[in-house]
Amino acid sequence: DTAVSQTPKYLVTQMGNDKSIKCEQNLGHDTMYWYKQDSKKFLKIMFSYNNKELIINETVPNRFSPKSPDKAHLNLHINSLELGDSAVYFCASSHGPRQPQHFGDGTRLSIL
Amino acid sequence: GESVGLHLPTLSVQEGDNSIINCAYSNSASDYFIWYKQESGKGPQFIIDIRSNMDKRQGQRVTVLLNKTVKHLSLQIAATQPGDSAVYFCAENLTGNQFYFGTGTSLTVIP
């Protein structure tokens, strides 16, 4: 009964490719997020959605495009992958703003 | 054992001892704070939170202390166990969905 599930868990691909990461939550939460964690464990928010509406769009290259088809899903599409995109990407959800977040187990993206 | 700051320190404690993990947050207007635990290969897991109208909050074996005067947050873990070994993050919230995470502290519990 995974609350926040991301797929794939590992993603190894070449520079220049386009890839997607999927996220689903079964907690009935209204708010979902994408975070990037670098090799030094630093976690930085990328995007946040409330009820499918984009709320936060941090300084992220426009090669990254989130899509929320419904409240339970927030997918992340990345175009023209670069070496610096290598990181662990975490999806999270919460009941609403200013609430504790439930995180998925991450997608480890490696760019060759 | 005790750690300080945002420079990804490591903290080693003996099993059964108390641990103190510190966090210096950046924005004096932040008014909601969360501690997360991240085990290897997993996502961060909520431990405890505190709002700025409080200076102390207790959970099971954990206590969070907030000192707004010096923008300091600490997590105390009582009777530390091997299962407590993980990286611990504090996160601050100013408004809405925007959370800023500290760089984390790696806690190792020595059996």
Q: What is the pLDDT of residues A23-81, one digit of tens each?
A: 999 999 999 999 999 988 999 999 999 888 888 777 789 999 999 999 999 999 999 99
CB B18 within 8 A of CB B76: yes
CB contact under 8 A, A44 and B98: no
* Cβ(B6)–Cβ(B21) below 8 Å: no
Suggest the residue from B42, B99, B101, B103 to mutate for an interface test with chain A (most A CBs closer than 10 A): B99
How far is residue B15 from each of residues A93, B1, B83, measured CA to CA in Å? 33, 11, 10
B30 Cβ neighbours under 8 A, 6+ residues apart: B52, B92, B93, B94, B100
Which residues from A are below 8 Å from B32, CB to CB?
98
- pLDDT surpassing 60 at residue B4: no
Neighbours of B41 (CB within 10 A): 10
pLDDT value of residue B73 = 96
- Band of residue A2 on the pLDDT scale cut at 50, 70, 90: low
Alpha-carbon distance of B56 to B54, in angstroms, equals 6
Q: How many whole angstroms separate alpha carbon A56 and alpha carbon A112?
A: 30
Each residue of B25-83: pLDDT tens digit?
988 999 999 999 999 999 999 999 999 999 999 999 999 999 999 999 999 999 999 99
Instruction: Decide if A101 and B32 are in contact by the 8 Å CB cutoff.
Output: no
B94 inside 8 A of chain A by CB? no
pLDDT band at B5 (very low <50, low <70, confident <90, very high): very low
Beta-carbon count within 10 A of A89 CB: 22
Can you give the pLDDT at residue B3? 44
Q: What is the mean pLDDT of residues B80-95?
A: 94
Of A41, A48, A100, the CB nearest to B34: A100
Taking contacts as CB-CB distances below 8 angstroms, the residues of chain B near A97 are 96-97
Q: Cβ–Cβ of B49/A42 closer than 8 Å? A: no
- Whether A90 sits inside 8 A of B43 (CB atoms) is yes
